[in-house]
Chains A and B, each alone.
Chain A
């Protein structure tokens, strides 16, 4: 018990790093996903192609390889110097972005065509239709799927300990190296991840109720 209490300040620091990396990465990931989804649906073949290559490349490779690529790979150029946290955030953001892109694209495509026709027949432009009619409805429907991806991305942040980011997983390792209490500490770390994910799903069900589909 004492071991655990002594470990808490270290683990709390880790939680903060995990939360920080996760929040920034998920926001960036969402923006990337939205842009790539719109590219994917664009009639311009070049945008379409960029999005397709991006999505396929990210979904077709392990996130650990992506992390090594962004941290060690890119840093091997003299003119690039990414610190660990930046490389870590980029990795999780881009990875989430590729999955978000597919979720958003599917969400937009599943909308009733009549909505677009009504909007366009009123003289709204394609952009206005997306902004006021399609995306608000599609996002509400996609919330549960977004939450799923967010949970996956939160778990993915634990991989960042591999390049030495002081996240919850890394802090757990540090404490264990000093105390040799692997069983207790990994159990506590697991519970802490579980609580974070639980809070995330609470937030999601709150948002689902708040923006209930009418």
Chain B
């Protein structure tokens, strides 16, 4: 079943055409990694999937709902699409627990008891049950990112988007976060991950998209793409980072 359908997606910032013509279908439970050089449009692509960026042309459907339509209930659709940011973006004035239960209570109307119970489960899952009453600024980067993942999961999303979730972390923190993401993938979450972690892409993803200058230049299952890149631009990109 197709979870995300992207057809001829175009995105410009004024004169700057960032996404030129992107089409891709992502199936339920599929894990797709997006790689590409800085400025190639990876984040912009991801942000078009939950309309954090207004889409210039083409169509994006999430679980059958066209999110580009004017009358689409974007808040409702976003509840189904969790997003994890490079800079965590936790709410600094709220405790870890409050960060997690806010959206379930306010957007979904979940009762406080149910939201807290769910949050405790999620904190246990990401290995942070003892941090419920801490404030974000007292946490390490790796802990912050795991809270951010728990916060997104608290909405029971159908899809999780990750924008370089480990790029702002100290090297020794990266493993904990990738471990949580791997577990999520194993549980069957549909995931789109912008990453520079080629090990993760190789081990966890079903498919890798290489984006360059606003186009998907090459896509393949990870082993094939990494060991046998067909396109010359993929080859030159991989030779620089591997």
Contacts and interface: CB of A to CB of B under 8 A. Distances in A.
Contacts of A122: 78-79, 82, 102-103, 107, 151-152, 155
Interface string B126-152: 000000000111100000000010011
A121 to B, nearest CB: 4
A123 B102 contact: no
Interface string A177-214: 00000000000000000000000000000000000011
B50 interface: yes
A140 B92 CA distance: 12
Contacts of B136: 214
Contacts of B83: 117-118, 121
A73 interface: no
Nearest to A139: B93
A120 B102 CA distance: 12
Interface string B62-80: 0000000000000110110
Candidate in B75, B87, B89, B148 with the most chain A CB atoms within 10 angstroms: B89
Interface residues of A, number: 20
Contacts of A137: 91-93
A118 B81 CA distance: 12
A117 B52 contact: yes
B237 interface: no
B102 A132 contact: yes
B92 A213 contact: yes
B226 to A, nearest CB: 30
Interface of B: 50, 52, 75-76, 78-79, 81-83, 85, 87, 89-93, 102-103, 106-108, 135-138, 148, 151-152, 155
19 contacts: A114-B87, A117-B85, A118-B85, A118-B148, A119-B91, A121-B52, A122-B155, A123-B76, A124-B103, A124-B107, A125-B107, A128-B106, A132-B102, A137-B92, A137-B93, A140-B93, A214-B93, A214-B135, A214-B137
Interface of A: 112, 114-115, 117-125, 128, 132-133, 136-137, 140, 213-214
